[in-house]
Structure 1
Amino acid sequence: MPTSFTSSLLSIIIHNPLATAGIVVVGFLFTHILLPYFLDLHSLRKFSIPGPRMAALSDLWLGYYSANGHRSEVVHALHERYGRIVRIAPNHVSIASPDALQTIYAHGNGTLKSDFYDAFVSIQRGLFNTRDRTEHTRKRKLVSHIFSQKSVLEFEPYIRVYVKELSEQWSRLYELAVKGGRGDEGQGQGGGWYGRDGRLWMDVLPWCNYLAFDIIGDLAFGAPFGMIRACKDTAQIPASGPSADLTDSKSEVQIKEIPAVKILNGRGEYSMSMGVLPPMYRPFAKKLPWFAAGAADVKALAGIAIMAVRKRLAAQEAGTLSVRKADLLEKLQRGKDEEGKFMGKEELTAEALTLLIAGSDTTSNSTCAILYYLARTPSAQAKLHAELDKAVPDVEELTMTVEDVKADRLPYLDACINEGLRIHSTSALGLPRLVPKDGMTVEGVTFLEGTVLSVPSYTIHRDTEVWGDDIEDFHPERWLNLVGDKKELVNKTFNPFSVGPRACVGRNLAFLELQVIVGSLVRRWDFVLEDGLEQELLTSEGFLRKPLGCRVGIQRRD
């Protein structure tokens, strides 16, 4: 027989829905928030790890700041308040220390990626989001060879093709706006521009996006997306929706065009916010309108990769590749694992999606930020102009070559790029790792198995003990003439591509792209900010930290 308490409770549930809802809420709060907090299974409360009380109680605190686009700035403010070690979620500790970077992400330390990365899986797990160590080792061997120094140097001429195409488009608009006396707002192709004071004024962010997408389209799939030529954010996907079997190049498929950059941004915001939530919350979150729109972006982005692979394989089979055969996809096709097996079509498409995301977003964000900081710092831009003029005296040469950008010839160019990557850390957030079975000691604290640790690049790139007090100033000179302990400390702290076995395999290609792009554009053009030197670079952070725009005036250096 039920007790009187049970009978009363059943009566309330049956006859009072409002009270029932209250019981459910209280039960949820107790079992999912209060009980885990007091049980303290990972001893974070025992170790007195400081941080906001709400962060200690619920993942929703970090989820909120991840969704609002300024997570790295918020976490940085916490470190300024509490010190190097801060609790940012019930089971997540952020550690802003160069030594922690080397410990948490080092080779052979036993850490694994957390379930945060499950939110980034679409077609199937790729090199970026696989969490299994054995599978990651296999995939890295299949992928890393395509980014060898030899392969990277082979790609340089094709990078230059699109930098030249971009500069020619700017010259066309420059002639219309400045030489042609156009003072009104330019409409049509490249709209949003006008001429004033002998300069072409425009937002360079869209152009950086077009350039990055066309370059990765060519390098990865043998043909550009055509964004620079169209002056438009556009890519093709299957009209029926993404499906890996659509890479069968012999089947008929209807296509439609979508805004690839916009889709990529939406996907980053969605996956970032979803990844912060505990797995049990995610099915419910997907039903909310904002998350539902993000899930649609994930599918659309997969469709872009599927369509690009489909077109590439069709051209390969027909012998009609428009540019060449030695692209990244072809190199992936030739890769074999230890058992001598090639990638299957679905795995190939998943890795192509990773190439598309990593090769477009990071390059466009970084290019835009570096151009902004050069425009904001005329003295640095003047020094770079002088170095580039000496290296490439012919002003009619629209692009720099790999020989031009060698570090011993253009040290100030490399310093400008590094300084831009320091201040505007595209990958700014702390990438989460799980403490292994035997625990891990970081900054004097021994964390238990299963604790999530991360090191925020945004914050360690602003460590005054490493960089000095002028951390928000664009000061390329800090990278010159580094020697001894100072050089070692800077190299240990600088983290634009992560470190250890999960570091970015494409970092050599990414840096070469920035050398050619920034060197070529600054050699040809002079940049100033529209509203004076104090104009702020507004950003929003999904998985990557992106500029929201960069309106500048450019003048051709004839």
Structure 2
Amino acid sequence: MAVVNLVTTVSILGVFVLLAHQIFSYLRSPLRKLPGPRIAKFTNLWRLKTHYDRTHVETQIDLHAKYGDVVQLGPNVVSVANPNMIKTIYSTRGTFPKSEFYSVNDAMQPDGTIVENIFGTRNNEFHSRQIRPIQKMYSLQSAQKLEPVLDNTFDVLCRELERQFMDGKNEGKTCDIADWVLFFAWDFLGDVTFSQRFGFIEAGEDVGGMLDTAERVMRYFSVVGQIPTFDKLLAKNRYFPFKFPDFSGAAGFCVERFSERMQNFEAMKGNKDFLSGFLQVQQEYPSVTVHDVIGWLIINILGGADTTAIVMKALFYHILKSPYTKNTLVTELKAANLTYPPSYASLSGLPYLSACIKEGLRMHPVIGQIAERVVPLSSPGLTIPYPHPDSDTSVTLPPGTIVGMNPWVVHRQAATFGSRPDDFIPERWMQGYVAGEGVQEWEGRVKRMTAADMSFGNGNRTCLGRPLALVELYKLVATLFGKYEIELEDPNQEWELHKQWFVWPHKIRVQMRPH
């Protein structure tokens, strides 16, 4: 009995000490007067729960609608919605480093060693060292040189779509275009990276469950990243009995392709793919290791396939939900007298297509939560224009504060993007959307909207594959809407959104036939 009483007493004291610590930390916090959920001022568990429940996107949108440009999401976490702060928080110099949220993306080796990658690293020097040798391979000019590979994947995609949904007994069969866009994005990245598609298009399914695994990995990243310490107890714990989803399947595929290339180097050295380019870089930079090359291959696939597919799915959905938009787009494509697949050069000057793509990127950015950064410890803090109880002009976040901006919040600011920011309106990017608007006013308005664009990130961590992704977007939208009549099976049926670190669209069921 005495032992039980002692354990009970110690437990009560432990809870009391924990609560006292939380209260004391709150009273000392310079953030305590910021608006936000009261529980979020004491614990990150509230934030973790919203991500676990997949309600964080609408929750953060609603909080900013209620409280304004600055909202506290955790004891040391602040979300900012003012587009004017983008260039400061996400500077090209990387002044505000990534937070420990991104450590969840690190890889654990069999011996327990933790290895950072280009995406997740919090070390700007490491990031620059990894990016510098390969940066030229991701320019728009380089992306356009890859169009023959892209066109080959288009040929395979169109052939399979026609065979499975438009020919013979399959004519009128329902197609989930969300799945096929995803198959296309992964197969193209496989082809352009190591001259071998994954085989999703031909199979018409998720071969080996790789695509499902990719989404489940991002769910873990989204939830556990809210309290990164949990990751050390779970996925980064070699002794934890349960294995969490990881990218080992995709990584293994990349390692296999690398090994094949090295075994057949002479026969395959003429391949115009990223692997050949990376191996050439290795010759030019003696410091580049085999591990660096494999790391680039993995990031090329994992960083480019799902992200581009998500935007393409969303763009298709919003165009199909607006008959006027679809008809206007198809009319423009037909008037352009395109050959299919069309070249990017023949598409980039089409104003309505460009407006649709810009609006799609605005409406459905890939990332659905704040992109966390840390106010530099060496700085006096981050001053944000914002009225609050102590001042009617600004608030200053102290060094060490985790701060970030959610693209889904920023992209819905009416002051920047105009009226009806929750609606898909490509015309907002075109002159004449605002009545009586002259050329200078239109150019100024587009400049403000472009400056607030976070669809590919910003600053020194802007998505390296942005030019290639845009080439894919232009060509896919133009090819499928230009060649086929596409309609939603049920115009009243909403899609499914799996809200995680990425916001994944699913179930966009359509019927297709040739024009």
Please give the TM-score of this superposition, normalised by the length of structure 2.
0.88
In the other structure, the counterpart of 2:494 is 536
| Closer, same or farther: CA 312–469 of 1 in aligned 2, 3 Å | same
Name the amino acid aligned to 1:542: Q
Matches of 1:346 and 1:316, distance apart in 2: 14
In the other structure, the counterpart of 2:44 is 59
| Closer, same or farther: CA 284–109 of 1 in aligned 2, 3 Å | closer
In the other structure, the counterpart of 1:250 is none
Report Cα offsets for 1:479-534 as digits up to 9, x if no partner. 123734212211111221011111111100111111111111111122222222x4
SS at match of 1:483: helix
1:98-247 to structure 2, matched below 5 A, reads 98-108=83-93, 110-122=95-107, 124-176=115-167, 179-180=168-169, 199-234=172-207
SS at match of 1:486: helix
In the other structure, the counterpart of 1:297 is 245
| Closer, same or farther: CA 322–540 of 1 in aligned 2, 3 Å | farther
Matches of 2:474 and 2:56, distance apart in 1: 29
In the other structure, the counterpart of 1:459 is 409
| Closer, same or farther: CA 292–172 of 1 in aligned 2, 3 Å | farther
* Contact 1:12/1:20 (8 A) holds in 2: no
Matches of 2:360 and 2:2, distance apart in 1: 62
Matched, 1:556 2:514: yes
In the other structure, the counterpart of 2:264 is 318
SS at match of 1:72: helix
In the other structure, the counterpart of 2:209 is 259
Matches of 1:201 and 1:324, distance apart in 2: 41
CA drift at 1:361? 0.6
SS at match of 1:93: strand
Matched, 1:28 2:10: no
Report Cα offsets for 1:78-105 as digits up to 9, x if no partner. 0011111000111110000110112211
| Closer, same or farther: CA 74–175 of 1 in aligned 2, 3 Å | same
* CA RMSD after TM alignment: 2.5
Matches of 1:420 and 1:504, distance apart in 2: 17
Identity of aligned residues (%): 26
Of 366, 371, 375 in structure 2, the residue corresponding to residue 426 of structure 1 is 366
| Closer, same or farther: CA 531–387 of 1 in aligned 2, 3 Å | same
* Contact 1:374/1:381 (8 A) holds in 2: yes
In the other structure, the counterpart of 2:391 is none
* Contact 1:167/1:398 (8 A) holds in 2: no
| Closer, same or farther: CA 398–103 of 1 in aligned 2, 3 Å | same
Report Cα offsets for 1:56-75 as digits up to 9, x if no partner. 11111111112222322211
Matches of 2:258 and 2:464, distance apart in 1: 23
SS at match of 1:527: strand
CA drift at 1:19? 4.9
Between the two proteins, the alignment pairs up a number of residues equal to: 488
Name the amino acid aligned to 1:229: E
Matches of 1:90 and 1:278, distance apart in 2: 14
* Contact 1:202/1:551 (8 A) holds in 2: yes
Matches of 1:102 and 1:428, distance apart in 2: 19
* Contact 1:59/1:278 (8 A) holds in 2: no
In the other structure, the counterpart of 2:388 is none
Matches of 1:514 and 1:135, distance apart in 2: 31
In the other structure, the counterpart of 2:232 is 283
Matches of 2:265 and 2:156, distance apart in 1: 26
* Contact 1:200/1:555 (8 A) holds in 2: no
* Contact 1:305/1:356 (8 A) holds in 2: no
Name the amino acid aligned to 2:325: A
SS at match of 1:218: helix
* Contact 1:222/1:323 (8 A) holds in 2: no
Of 261, 264, 277 in structure 2, the residue corresponding to residue 331 of structure 1 is 277
Q: Which runs of 5+ in 1 are unaligned?
A: 1-10, 183-194, 235-257
Name the amino acid aligned to 1:306: G
CA drift at 1:108? 3.3
SS at match of 1:113: coil
In the other structure, the counterpart of 2:254 is 308
| Closer, same or farther: CA 457–392 of 1 in aligned 2, 3 Å | same
1:436-451 to structure 2, matched below 5 A, reads 436=376, 437-438=378-379, 439-443=381-385, 444-451=394-401
Matches of 1:140 and 1:423, distance apart in 2: 29
1:365-380 to structure 2, matched below 5 A, reads 365-380=310-325
Name the amino acid aligned to 1:296: F
In the other structure, the counterpart of 1:8 is none
SS at match of 1:296: coil
CA drift at 1:449? 0.8
Matches of 1:473 and 1:65, distance apart in 2: 25
1:341-380 to structure 2, matched below 5 A, reads 341-380=286-325
* Contact 2:105/2:221 (8 A) holds in 1: yes
Please give the TM-score of this superposition, normalised by the length of structure 1.
0.82
Q: Which runs of 5+ in 2 are unaligned?
A: 109-114, 386-393, 432-440
Matches of 1:466 and 1:13, distance apart in 2: 65
- 109-118 or 348-357: which moved more? 348-357
Matches of 1:170 and 1:550, distance apart in 2: 15
Name the amino acid aligned to 1:404: S
